[in-house]
Every structure is written in C-alpha cells, then in structure tokens.
A and B are shown apart, each in its own frame.
Chain A
Amino acid sequence: MGKIKQYGRTILVLILMICCMADYVYAKDSLLIIRLEDIALKQAVDGIRSQIRQDFLIVEMIVNADTAENEISRKMKDISPKLVVLMDNAAISLYKKFRKGLPDSSEAVPSVSMMASFMDIMIRDIKNAAGIFYEVPVVTSIVNLRSVMPSVPLKKIGVVHREFMEQSVKTNREYCKKENIELVSQIIPGDDVKSYLEKALNRLRDQNIDALWIPNDNKIVNASLLQSVWFPFAGQFGKPIIVGVEVLVQPKFKFGTFAVIPDPFELGVQAAEIIFDIRDNGWKAEGRGIEPPRSVFKIINMEQAQRLFRIDKEKLSNIDKILQ
C-alpha cells in the first residue's frame, strides 16, 4: 500500500512537471520570420534571436521565387504568430500578396520589415506594420568620413535622386542640419535618367559641393550608367564619393571613396527592440514609423583616399574594412 502511495506521488510530481514545462513552452508567443536564403539575412536572424529567444518561439520560413502565397497562408495558420518579421523585398511582396487574399475584416498581425530597399514605399499598404530602412542616412557616412579625413572640408554634400526619393532626401537634410552639414540635391525628373544625370552632376559640381552621396537606386546607378556617366565624372570630380554598397568602393573601379552599409546582426538587434515595443503596446505597430538603421559597417577605398585626401591613420581603427 505504501509503495503504491509512493508511486502515486512520483507520478503526480511527474505530471505536474510536464504541465509546468508545457505551460512554459506555450506561454511563449510565437513569431514567424519569412525570408530568403542569404548570409546577411541569416545574420539578422541571429541578431533577433540573441535578444528574444527567451521570450518568443521563433519559426523561420525560407521562401524563394517559386513560393506561392498559399504557402504563407498555411504557415500562418499552423503557427498563428503574434508577429511576423519580413526580410528582403521579395518576402515583403509575397506577404502583401497573401494579405490581399484575406477579407478586409481579418485581423492584421503586426509585422516588422527589414533588409529591403525603399521601405516606406514597400510597406505603406500593409496594416499594422513597422520597419527599418536599409538605406543608411548620409549624416552617418559623413560623420564617420570626417573622423578619418579631418583636413578635408565636408560641409556641403550633393545628391542626385529621382522624384520618389524627395521625402527621404528631406529627412536626410534634417539629420544633416544637426551636424552642420548642408545637403543640396538635384532631382532627375521622369524615367529618362541618362540625359539628365550628367547635367545634374555637373550642376552639383558647379555648386562647389565637398562630397557626393550616391543613394542605392538601380535606375540611377547601374552597369551602363556607371560606364557612361559615373566613372568619367568621378575621374574629374576629385572629391570624396560616398556610396551604399561595397562593390562601388573597390579600388579597381576608381570610383567610390567610402561605403557605409548596415550591420546585419545589429539590424536584427534593432528589430528585436521594435518587437518588444510592439508587444508592450498591445501588438500594435501603427504610429511607429520606419526607423533608420542605427549600426553600420564602414569600408574605405584606401588607395583613392590616400591618393586624393589626407588620412588620419590612427582613426582607421574605427573602419571595418580597408580596401587597398
């Protein structure tokens, strides 16, 4: 009889333990990350995980060009996520297609989008959405460039952009003001980029700009325009050129001086903070706006920087990559 009682007690304790563990598992809110297979995106996921793994059950869904929206629908039903993280333009587009197929009355699961170009345009028609821009504000680049080239004046920066980027340039202008930097711009109207680009660049040069900032827009910066307009212009410009992709600061192109790109792991950490904020705000993402990336990698074209500008070599320790 005593033994039976003892077994009974042990079984009861085991049941209680299992219940507690199950409670622990189910107490975690689930989060679905929809992304492409890519190293930088994986690093961003690592950044998210480093912050939220104790609070959320994280499920990843890798998508590609063949993924259909009904697969997203199935995953959403299976997981019932409290929040969705969308990485890359392709994943955001796919999610938008899935949302389009839902009735208007359906609940809008909050989403955080990241690692995609022109985020404001990408997510403007997604309900309950927050995001992080991929484009690094020019003020970040200038402040960092100024620290390695203290003798080069960097007070007036020029930019060429298409009309749709006007708001973004305006925001950048405000950030620049805080650092006593003037941002002057030339707009390329319509789609006839080539005929306007050269004129716009020459106009900026005539305005005595100290450096040129080139945003990541493949209609303005592409293989054909690089050969026909950008490279010849850079050859004569003789002042720092700031870009948003590493390839354009490769010394062999004799083009970009300084590239500043988002740090993918830290983008994930930043996204995690937004996720916590949305949870604390009753799963409401509206009104948050889209944040700029706050942590970056800095790459310098050392060959050009040494040839054209005076470099403070001691300050190079803050540069992540030096291309010779």
Chain B
Amino acid sequence: MSRFSKSLQIAAVLIAAAAVPCISDVSRAGAETLYIFYPSTIRPVLMQQKMTESCPGIRIKVFGRFTDFETEVLADKPDAILTKYPVIQQIGGYSVALKGSRKGETEEAVILVSADEKIDLNTISSISIGMFDILGRDGMKKTAAGYFSVEPKLRLVSKIEDMLQILTLNMVKAILIPENHFSYFKELSDMNFAVTPLPDVRTGIIALALKEGGSAVLSVKALTEMDSKSMTMLEVDKWEK
C-alpha cells in the first residue's frame, strides 16, 4: 500500500469519524421544530394532530399550559414558535416572522363578559376577573394592569371552557376574552351574558417567531401555504410578513 493510499485511508477514517456526530446530530434533531401555544377552543392533542398533518417535515409540539410551553421552549430552543405576541416578547430570543390576520387585521378586540349586567369599568379594582393564563401570574398581572387603569384581582385558567365555569360558579364577576371567542360561549351556555367592550384594548392574534440567528424555512413555508381548514383552527385567514 502506497503512502498516498495509506494517508487517504487515514483521511477517510478521520472524515467518517468527524461526520458521525454530524449525521447523528441531524438524525437526533430530526426535522425542524415548531412549538405551539395558542389558547383556542380546540384541545391541544387535536391541534397537534391536525398541525402535524398540515405541516409535513416539521416536528410539532402543541402545549395547553403556559408553564409547560415556557419550560420546554427555554430547554429545547425549538426553531420556531407559534403563539400570542406577549408570549414571544416575554420568552425572548425569538423574532416575529409572520403575523396571523383575520379580515385584514392582525390584532383583535377583547371584551368583558359577565352575567346579566355589564361591568362598570370604574369598579374594576374591586372585582375579580377571569383570564386565560398566557404569561404566568406576574406576566398576566402586568398585562391586566396595562388594559385597565388599575389592577383587578385575577383568576387565571388554562382551559378555555374553564372561563365559563368560573363565571357560572360566581368565582369571578367577569371574564376577559377575545371578541372572537364569544360565539363559543354563547353556543355552550344559556346564561344571560352581558358584554362590556374595551375599545382601547387590542391584542395581536397569533404570530410565528423564529429563533434569533436560526432559520425555520419549513415552518414559514408551511404556514404561508396552509390550507383554509388549518387556518380556521388557528382563528386566522391569512399570514402577513
């Protein structure tokens, strides 16, 4: 064996050895990762199933609770996250790439829903309000304080249907929901709802954010080419840059 072929053999072994971790890294990491946390009327298990079907090649994980989402995003650092704007801001390290829009709007109105009587916004500091927990206790307190001139007493839930529960069981005076969710509660309940609009409050519907310094080409492509059924599930009709 010539010196050349010997050195080639050594080089081949070295290249192979160096390639092993790369190959195994790729196979371990698998596809691009997209973590989703979006409070909707659809169960996380069902959303995971439907999103996996409509986004081939992407490893998707859907979360029902903010604490689980935050913990796993910080630990796994997925390539992209699909969630509410304030969640993206609180978690950090991700930049918005696509904004979900509905009827041309990327933001939506929120309303206070109560039983029988509207809420006098001047009494907000003395009543309890139910909200879906998207930021944890401290984050939600700050959010609520931003919505109202004073800080109301909050009751946080992590299932949309529990919002109705806390209202029916007199645990809160009102629930704060996106206006878009009101029809869900109307369909579920025979309660005599009273709606108090909050004209000065609008929140971002949903956004896709990419890990800073990374790229999530498949996630961006999957969302922009998403079928209307999946879009409806995410409560949007278009993705905007």
Please list the residues of chain A having a beta carbon within 8 angstroms of any beta carbon in chain B.
50-51, 137, 139-140, 143-144, 147, 175, 178-181, 266, 269, 273, 276, 291-292, 294-296, 317-318
Contact = CB atoms under 8 A, between A and B. Distances in A.
A292 B170 CA distance: 10
Contacts of B232: none
B191 A294 contact: no
Interface of B: 42-43, 46, 65, 67, 115, 137, 155-159, 161-162, 164-166, 168-171, 187-192
A51 B137 contact: yes
A79 B67 CA distance: 28
A179 B165 contact: no
A16 B118 CA distance: 55
B168 A317 contact: no
A50 B164 CA distance: 23
20 contacts: A137-B168, A137-B169, A139-B169, A140-B168, A140-B169, A147-B187, A147-B188, A175-B168, A175-B169, A178-B168, A179-B168, A179-B189, A179-B190, A266-B158, A266-B162, A294-B157, A294-B166, A294-B171, A295-B158, A295-B159
A318 B43 contact: yes
A137 B168 CA distance: 10
A269 B166 contact: no
Nearest to B42: A317
Given A175-B168, A179-B189, A318-B161, 4 more contacts: A143-B188, A144-B161, A179-B168, A317-B42
Given A178-B191, A294-B171, A269 B158 contact: yes
A139 B65 CA distance: 25
A273 B46 contact: no
B184 to A, nearest CB: 10
A319 to B, nearest CB: 10
B37 to A, nearest CB: 15
A291 B171 contact: yes
Nearest to A49: B67
A269 to B, nearest CB: 7
A273 B155 contact: yes
A264 to B, nearest CB: 14
A288 to B, nearest CB: 11
B166 A50 contact: no
A50 B165 contact: no
A10 B10 CA distance: 49
A266 B64 CA distance: 12
Contacts of A50: 65, 67
Given A51-B67, A294-B169, A317-B46, A179 B162 contact: no
A277 B6 CA distance: 75
A44 to B, nearest CB: 15
A295 B162 contact: yes
Contacts of B137: 51, 276
Nearest to A298: B161
Central interface residue in B161, B162, B165, by most chain A CB within 10 Å: B165
